[in-house]
């Protein structure tokens, strides 16, 4: 099943899919001092919830 970017709900906003390059890139833009690999590693380490990823990345800086 493909992901329709036009239809979002609460679940889409609170999660980050590490396999979706647009979601990873959006998160990477919020942390320009980090590499793309560091952002991907943070998603894998902290899990898919955006708040957990942000908390993890904030600790890294």
DSSP-assigned letter for residue 48: S
Mean pLDDT by 10 residues, the chain (61 residues): 56 87 94 95 97 95 79
What is the C-alpha separation between 60 and 1, in angstroms, rounded? 35
* Torsion over CA: 35, 14, 19, 22 (sign): negative
Alpha helices in the chain (DSSP H): 10-14, 21-30, 36-46, 50-60
pLDDT value of position 1: 38
pTM recorded for the entire structure: 0.79
Q: How crowded is residue 46: how many other Cβ atoms within 10 Å of its Cβ?
A: 18
């Amino acid at each position: 099943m493909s992901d329709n970017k036009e239809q979002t709900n609460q679940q889409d906003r609170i999660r980050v899919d590490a396999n979706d390059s647009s979601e990873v890139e959006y998160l990477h833009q919020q942390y320009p001092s980090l590499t793309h690999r560091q952002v991907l590693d943070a998603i894998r380490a902290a899990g898919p919830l955006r708040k957990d990823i942000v908390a993890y990345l904030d600790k890294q800086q």
